[in-house]
Amino acid sequence: MDPRASAFWGRLKANRLAYSLTILVTLTIGILMGTIISYGVKGQESKKASDATPLTVPAPQQLSNQFSNISKQLEPSVVNINTESTIKTPQRRRRGAPGGTPNGPDDQNPFDDFFDRFFGGPGGGGAGGGAIRERSLGSGVVVDSKGYIVTNRHVVEKADRIRVKLDDDPPGMLHDAKVIGTDNETDLAVIKIDVNRSLPTAKLGNSDGMQVGDWVLAVGSPFGLQATVTAGIVSAKGRNIVPGRQFQSFIQTDAAINPGNSGGPLVNMAGEVIGINTAILTDTNAYAGVGFALPSNTVANVYNQLIGPEHRVSRGSIGIEFNAQENPAIARVYGVNSGVTISNVVAGSPAEQAGLKVGDNINSVDGRPVKNGDDLVGDIASRKSGAKVTLGVIRNGKKQDITVTVADRAKLFASRLGEEEDSSDSSSPKESKLGLSVRAVTSDIADRLDIPAGKGIIVQDVKPGSFADDVGLSRGDVILEINKQPVNSEDDFTKISSTLKSGQDVVFLVRQRGAGRQDGTIFLAGTLP
């Protein structure tokens, strides 16, 4: 090759290498500068963030402390109530012949084993049935520092054991309680615990002073969660939610009330108890925005009678019935504008003896105008048995005064209330060795069950786990015979039962509670342990 051409190509290669190196260095320097600039920018941003003002939490302050003050005031007097009950599971007959004898393959129910094992059948509690223990929770409020507590009757009803947990008790500590008295018509009960100190009590208010829209708090143990407080308003007053219960006129509230709240207080903004939470209206057995509390004025009246010598509520009655809901058509047909129109007069009642009749309109009591049925019942119920009252009556458009002697409501309506109320006798029935107490059969019960007058005795109560309970006797059953001997009085029952000995067979001839005229009698039998 020509030396000059070789030199040219050599210089060209050198220049190209230098050019490449120049580009590489330039790129490297650019990357380094970018990194440095980027780092500087980030550093500047970081420096700016440090200028932000830190967040701070202000000192605690209460903008409105009325609810919290009331809660602190009431919670020590609100208690949790635990009850235990024995529920007897009767012997279940398999499908087939009336005596329970299987007829064939159809009697082999695939669910028999499940029920037998878990509900006292042959696979569990034996062929004669068994018993299960039921535990439930409720609430109550201390109204007397000596340990007297107001709660609902349904919270402690039929409980074998009642225990109370105070607000300041350590975990697991419970106090045994005894029932002082109960009232079925208002679903109230008074129980008592014995403690060696003075207990904090709640202050009772006047429920008549409450207005729709007033704030209220409900305190109790919903689902066992002790010392739970919920807020709401009075939604309505004078709610009658149980047909036929003339003494259950409730305060309605939207304060959350759930299972376990029963027996707890409804409180006004003065920290006063103006009601006892009793019921809820729901399709799910949980809070749905509609709860009911028995007014404190009713609570006070019932409580004062239950702590009295007889531990029962005495209410006056004259023995009449009328429509619970006012109907303008009745007023127009009978030609009256106010008062109460009688729809039934109880046979043998003071009303019948005084000459009152169906269709009579009572518009005054001792000269005081009668507003409605609740007004009339409240007035008469507050009077003692034997008191005389003058009723202003309109009959066929003519006014007249009729004097009536007030009777004891429990005795007057014994056939209707006897199966639910305690014995109308002033003395408590004595429990026999059979494990049951009895009382005389009223003429109304005898007529309803088609039993000859003066025959049989009615079961007043059955002790859980007793011989009477084991053979299947229940409250309200009528015992006609014991071992073929007629039982027509309490004396007959006492004499016969006193001769029975351990190991002896005992057979009761019984007309069961709820049996009508077309239903016969049955035998209930067993061997006395």
Q: Which residues of 440-452 are buried (b: 16+ CB within 10 A; e: fewer)?
A: bbbebbbeebebe
Beta carbons of 176 and 163 less than 8 angstroms apart: yes
Burial of 414 (0-12, 13-18, 19+ CB in 10 A): buried
Question: Could you tell me which of 487, 499, 498 has the C-alpha nearest to residue 459?
Answer: 487
Beta carbons of 207 and 295 less than 8 angstroms apart: yes
Residues 6+ apart with CB under 8 A from 280: 257, 258, 286, 287, 288, 290, 291, 292
> How many of the other CB atoms lie within 10 Å of CB of 34?
10
Q: Alpha helix (H) ranges present in 219-267?
A: none
> How many of the other CB atoms lie within 10 Å of CB of 397?
9
Could you confirm whether 311 is annotated as catalytic? no
Question: Could you tell me which of 354, 321, 353 has the C-alpha nearest to residue 340?
Answer: 321
How many Å apart are CA 347 and CA 353, to the nearest integer?
Answer: 9
Residues 6+ apart with CB under 8 A from 337: 331
Task: Kindly write down the DSSP assignment for every residue of 305-321, as one continuous string.
Answer: HHTSTT-S---EE-SEE
Query: Rounded to the nearest 10 degrees, how much is the dihedral formed by the CA atoms of 331, 334, 337, 342?
Result: -80
Could you confirm whether 154 is annotated as catalytic? yes
The continuous run of DSSP H or E covering 20 comes out as helix 3-49
Burial of 473 (0-12, 13-18, 19+ CB in 10 A): buried
Residues constituting the chain: 529
How many Å apart are CA 316 and CA 113, to the nearest integer?
Answer: 53
Choose, from 71, 154, 207, 437, the residue flagged as catalytic: 154
Question: Could you tell me which of 121, 131, 99 has the C-alpha nearest to residue 522?
Answer: 99
Instruction: Compute and round to an integer the Cα radius of gyration of the chain.
Output: 39
How many Å apart are CA 360 and CA 4, to the nearest integer?
Answer: 148
Could you confirm whether 167 is annotated as catalytic? no
Q: Which residues of 116-130 are buried (b: 16+ CB within 10 A; e: fewer)?
A: beebbbbebbeeebb
Choose, from 71, 77, 262, 296, the residue flagged as catalytic: 262
Query: Rounded to the nearest 10 degrees, how much is the dihedral formed by the CA atoms of 374, 379, 380, 382?
Result: 120
Q: What are phi and psi of 443, to 5 degrees?
A: -65, -35
Question: Could you tell me which of 252, 236, 240, 211 has the C-alpha nearest to residue 374?
Answer: 240
Q: Which amino acid is at 137?
A: L
Choose, from 116, 183, 187, 360, the residue flagged as catalytic: 187
> Which residues does the annotation mark as catalytic?
154, 187, 262
